Amino acid sequence: ARPGSVLHPPGPVLHPPGPVLHPPGQALLCTPPTRPGPALYSTHQARPCSVLHPPGQALLCTPPTRPDLVLHLYSTHQARPCTPPALPSQDIRNTVGNIPMEWYQDYPHIGYNLDGKKIFKPIRNKDELDEFLDKMENPDYWRTVHDKTTASDIRLSDEQVDLVHRLQKGQFGDVNFNEYEPSVDFFTNEVMIHPVTNRPQDKRSFIPSLIEKEKVSKLVHAIKMGWIKPRKPKETTPQYYDLWAKEDPNAILGRHKMHVPAPKMRLPGHEESYNPPPEYLLTEEERMAWEQQDAEDRKLPFLPQKHSCLRAVPAFSRFIHERFERCLDLYLCPRQRKMRVNVNPEDLIPKLPKPKDLQPFPTTMSLVYIGHSSLVRSISASPTGQWLVSGSDDCTVRFWEVNTGRCMKTLEVGGAVKSVAWNPNPAVCLVAVCFESTVLLLNPGLGDRLVVSSTDQLITSYEPPEEDKEQAVTWALSEGPEHDNGHRLTLTHPKAVKQVVWHGKGDYLASVMPDNSSNLQVLIHQVSKRRTQNPFRKNKGLVQCVSFHPLRPYFFVATQRYVRVYNLIKQELTKKLMTNCKWISSMAIHPGGDNLICGSYDCRLAWFDLDLSTKPYKMLRHHKKALRGVAYHKHYPLFASGADDGSVIICHGMVYNDLLQNPLIVPVKVLKGHQITHDLGVLDVTFHPTQPWVFSSGADATIRLFT
């Protein structure tokens, strides 16, 4: 209760901020009527219970232990209770002190009362609506004050309102206070004749200071000598002079030679004009697109605009931005010298011999062999070049005359034909056909009678050996109507056969039964002895196709990713070719025997030079879709590849006898003709044995001859 301090403003008694005149140091005696025993409170430590009324007349007293007691106001002069201005039913003063009440935001209580009990927040806060209703309905709303410390509303009494009014006007809180008390002079204004002290003045106050004189004379001397000069006014305007008066034209930049000068700003084009030609203005859609683009993606950093006259041109809103960005570019952007390649695209195209000079090769489609009703999986030409055999998914094998396109013979077999192969020996007329798990050897009976009959004789002249060996395949001779149809031998395999291929001599025959789990994938049959053997003991992956070397006793096996070359006599692996393809689909061997091509389902064709390396000599990515068939020509330096994109690409592939010279590969013709059905295009290609012609069979059930 120091003078001037405000005590508990939200309490039941409002202490006016007027001067408190009660002499400090006095103790107040306060005796609550209901409690025995007096309590002494120092006015210095009037906390927590006593409040001094303005001029020391009244004292509000609350016993610390009984906050629920009715408050009494005592006049210190009269020492009797007077009526308090407003009496709340309960004293819920908060003892937390003058703290931000937000600290209690997250608690259910708001502080502690004088007993140390929690003061709880009202259960329901007033919302806007309550506030509004209160405002409308409560006649005392205007005199209600919210007390943050106790979270309660207090209605101000008339006296309090009066007090507030007085304070607002800047008057004293107390009504009775006299602002204009008569003044009392503490000090007289009359000069007294006797001094307070009678000490005579010092001598030093009469004589000038020597030290100061010395200092001044030093300064005077310094000024005279010109040591101290008055402060020069600062130059604010910069001084310019001829900076490059003694320039050295050969002087390199002070730093180093790696300096990259900043590029100049781009010069404006027509579209930046205030009145551009109309074609440079953006159309409505372009403008919309421009607005939707990110600022970085925009091709023009501004919208071209047309103004009818110079007067109408507004300020460019991004001017300062652009200058600022330029500044940033100048000092923040890493600079790098870049050589821009200025290549003539024509120079990039490799210089190849002209296809015209590499003739002959098939150029036009001349015949279409129509007859099959489903996709034609496989075709093969007879060694004389007069006949063509084709196997299709419609379970038929058809024999065609090449020159006329006539279907000479149609044979029904018991399943979709996977592969056909004409015996390459011209003295034998035999065709191997495979479907399901059967390989059928047919004698079509076409061509030279002598050959046909000698073939039959060859088959019938077989004499079974004395001791019968257990074989993987059962050989059966056809008889009756089947014999009349041309069936000669039936080889029943344990599994489905995918491919058959003849050895160049025409006596051996290999069949492929792809199966990932066993070593019985490839079988080699000898027709004259009706013998079958399994060349491999181990399974080295899913076999895709096999092929015989045309001259030497080598055997090529293509698994999914590699091509293995086995020596059949030594019975060992001689080479393993890495194709770099994901999945090999077909393979063909150059008639010279030193080169090999592999087609793959990932659109690539790999050319291997067996003398060179086990990696492809060249990878050709000519086709757009998976390759299905590849073939070499027997005599001409040609090879062909057919793919699912419906095209057959003929390449000139010249192999030189000189070992130093690498093969020359030039694509010479793209042949198109097959329609794509069910995403399949060309399924097999094969060359005519003597002419530069190519046959292709497709998924559109046709066979086409390109000459």
Partner 1 sequence: MGGLQKKKYERGSATNYITRNKARKKLQLSLADFRRLCILKGIYPHEPKHKKKVNKGSTAPRTFYLFKDIRFLLHEPIVRKFREYKVFVRKLRKAYGKAEWTGVERLRDNKPGYKLDHIIKERYPTFIDALRDIDDALSMCFLFSTFARTGKCHVQTITLCRRLTVEWMNYVVTSRSLRKVFLSIKGIYYQAEVLGQLITWLVPYQFAHDHPTDVDYRVMATFTEMYTTLFGFINFRLYQTLNLVYPPKLDSKAESELKAEHEEDYAMDSESYLEKLSALSASLARVVATAEEEENQLDLFPTEGEDQENMQAREKEQKEQEAQKRLFEGLKFFLNREVPRESLAFILRCFGAEVSWDKSLCIGGTYEVTDETITHQIVDRPDMDKQYINRYYIQPQWVFDSVNAQMRLPVEDYFLGTTLPPHLSPFVEEKDGDYVPPEKLKLMALQRGEKPEEEEEDDEEEEEEDEEEDDVDDEELTEEKNLKKMEGTRAQGKTLAVKVTPGKVKPWETGSVGNKVRLEQEEKAEEKRLAIMMMKKKEKYLYDKIMFGKKRTTREVSSLRCAPNGCKATHFKFEWPSQSPDLNLILRCCGRT
Q: Using CB under 8 A, which residues numbered 604 to 623 contact partner 1?
A: 620-622
Among 253, 295, 569, 660, binds partner 1 (CB under 8 A): 253
Task: Report d(CA 606, CA 581) in Å as an integer.
Answer: 8
DSSP 353-393: --GGGG-----SEEEEEE--SS-EEEEEE-TTSSEEEEEET
Contact between 319 and partner 1 (CB under 8 A)? yes
Rule CB under 8 A: which of 174-193 touch partner 1?
none
Region near partner 1 per CB under 8 A, out of 139-147, 179-187, 339-347, 535-543: 339-347
Would you count residue 123 as binding partner 1 (CB under 8 A)? no
Q: How far is CA 597 from CA 82, 123, 317, 586, 656, in A?
A: 122, 90, 67, 8, 16
d(CA 185, CA 223): 55
Stretch in the footprint of partner 1 (CB under 8 A) among 107-115, 254-262, 403-411, 509-517: 254-262
Min dist. Cβ of residue 197 to partner 1 (A):
36
Window of 41-49, 245-253, 425-433, 503-511 that interacts with partner 1 by CB under 8 A: 245-253
By beta-carbon proximity to partner 1, the closer residue of 203 and 255 is 255
Per CB under 8 A, 336 contacts partner 1: yes
Q: Tell me the C-alpha distance between 68 and 62, whole Å.
A: 9
357 is a contact residue toward partner 1 (CB under 8 A): no
Q: Which stretch binds partner 1 (CB under 8 A): 298-306, 445-453, 496-504, 512-520?
A: 298-306
Whole-number Cα distances in Å, 311 to 47, 315, 532, 633: 78, 11, 100, 80
Judged by beta carbon, residue 188 or residue 336, the one nearer partner 1 is: 336
To partner 1, the closest distance from the beta carbon of 355 in angstroms equals: 6
228 binds partner 1 (CB under 8 A): no
297 binds partner 1 (CB under 8 A): no
User: DSSP of 636-662, one letter per residue?
Assistant: SSEEEEEETTSEEEEEEEE--SSTTSP
Cβ burial, residue 164 (10 Å; 0-12/13-18/19+): middle
Residue from 333, 469, 537, 660 binding partner 1 (CB under 8 A): 333
Contact in structure between 437 and 467 (CB atoms under 8 Å): no
Residues 396-415 that bind partner 1 (CB under 8 A): none
The CB-of-592 to partner 1 minimum distance in angstroms stands at 22
CB 442 within 8 A of CB 397: yes
* Prior bond of 362 cis (ω within 30°): no
Residues 653-682 that bind partner 1 (CB under 8 A): 665-670
240 near partner 1, judged by CB under 8 A:
yes
Nearer Cβ to partner 1, position 271 or 515?
Answer: 271
Nearest CA to 400 out of 386, 411, 421 is that of 386
- Dist CA 33 CA 62 (whole Å): 11
Segment contacting partner 1 by CB under 8 A, of 29-37, 320-328, 377-385, 489-497: 320-328
Write the single-letter amino acid at 37: G
State the number of binding residues for partner 1 (CB under 8 A): 97
Contact between residue 483 and residue 490 where contact means Cβ atoms under 8 Å apart? no
Q: What residues from 255 to 294 belong to the interface with partner 1 (CB under 8 A)?
A: 255-256, 258, 260-265, 267-270, 272-281, 283
Which of 89, 148, 93, 152 is CA-nearest to residue 117? 93
Binding of partner 1 by 465 (CB under 8 A) = no
Q: Are 501 and 517 in contact (CB under 8 A)?
A: no
Task: Choose which of 161, 228, 288, 330 interacts with partner 1 (CB under 8 A).
Answer: 330
Q: Which is nearer to partner 1, 183 or 342 (CB)?
A: 342
Q: What is the closest distance, in whole angstroms, from the C-beta atom of residue 375 to partner 1 in the complex?
A: 27
- Distance of alpha carbon 599 from alpha carbon 629, whole angstroms: 7
Task: Please pick, from the candidates 40, 123, 343, 660, the single residue that binds partner 1 as defined by CB under 8 A.
Answer: 343
